[in-house]
Amino acid sequence: MSKRAAFRERRRRERKRRNLILISIVAGIALVVAALLILPNLRPVGDVVVPDPKPRPMAEGTAMGDPNAPVRIDEYSDFQCPYCRRFHEQTLNQIAEEYVATGKVYFVFHNFPFIGQESLDAASASMCAAEQGRFWEYADVLFANQTGENVGAFSRRRLEAFAAAIGLDTEAFNQCFSEDRFKEQVQEDYLSGVNSQVRSTPSFLVNGKLLTGALPFAEFQAEIEAALAASGG
């Protein structure tokens, strides 16, 4: 073999070796990316707490009660907020029993997701549950499974698992959730809170009067009774 031929052969072998190395690197990167995308979906979603259903008188969408009631309470809440959970699991039940069920209060929940992406995802998921007439049950599950802020408690797979746990039509729910069908409504709720001077959660408007924090039932009772007296109800 001539020197020129030998040189060409070495060049060919070097190109082949470089190409093989490049292919190996690209394949390795592809495997890493695939693992990052697939592995989270293979992880178990963990236990799902499903609390006993609570009475939600005349529930419709994210509201309950008589729309013509003399007192209207608008709540602005974030599903990752621990104080929102406290209100939801304690005070709300008393308000529902004593004032909503008796036709004196119309109660409306508004999403005010400000803590992070999991708050936004939970808000979106809650509206997909509302589309099936099960907002309040889904909200109960969200708060019951709250474990911290942006720690995976409300991952998208868990939010889908919550829907299955309460017997929603999961195909319809997952389609609604994947396309973020209620994104604009969630944004509108948030902006309505901002325009009403809401700066933290939970916050409430009692016939337009702003209250802030997970106040005890006695304080809500005083505000509701004052509003009833002012309205002649």
**Where residue 226 sits, what CATH number does that domain have?**
3.40.30.10
Q: Are residues 113 and 221 in the same domain?
A: yes
Query: Which residue shows structure tokens 């609570």?
Result: 54
Same domain, 3 and 106: no
DSSP reduced 3-state for 26: helix
Residue 77 and residue 29 in one domain: no
Cα–Cα distance for residue pair 4/2, rounded to 1 Å = 5
Judge if 32 and 134 occupy the same domain: no
d(CA 88, CA 122): 15
Structural domain harbouring 138: 59-231
Give the lowest-confidence range in 29-38, 115-124, 178-187, 205-214. 29-38
| Number of separate domains in the chain | 2
Residue 67 and residue 39 in one domain: no
In this structure, the answer to whether residues 195 and 110 fall within a common structural domain is: yes
Residue 82, pLDDT > 70, answer yes
The per-residue DSSP string of 45-62 comes to ------PPP---TTEETT
Say if residue 37 is in the same domain as residue 90: no
Cβ neighbours around 178 below 10 Å, total: 12
208 and 156 co-located in one domain: yes
Based on the fold, state whether residues 130 and 156 are members of the same structural domain. Answer: yes
Name the packing angle between helices 183-195 and 117-131 (round to 10°): 110
Question: Does position 22 have pLDDT exceeding 90, yes or no?
Answer: no
Answer whether residue 50 is part of any domain.
Answer: no
Backbone angles phi and psi of 116, in degrees to 5: 170, -170
Would you say residue 51 lies in a domain? no
154, 124: one domain: yes
Same domain, 122 and 151: yes
Whether 48 is covered by a domain: the verdict is no
Does residue 207 lie in a domain region? yes
Rounded distance between C-alpha atoms, residue 54 and residue 65, angstroms:
14
Entry pTM: 0.81
What are 121-157's pLDDT values in tens digits? 999 999 999 999 999 999 999 999 999 999 999 999 9
Q: Tell whether omega for the bond before 202 is within 30 degrees of 0, i.e. cis.
A: yes
Tokens read off for 123: 């808000």
Would you state the pLDDT for residue 20? 61
What tokens were used for 187? Answer: 């944004």
pLDDT tens for each residue of 102-127 = 999 999 999 999 999 999 999 999 99
Q: How far apart are CA 228 and CA 115, in angstroms?
A: 34
Same domain, 118 and 212: yes
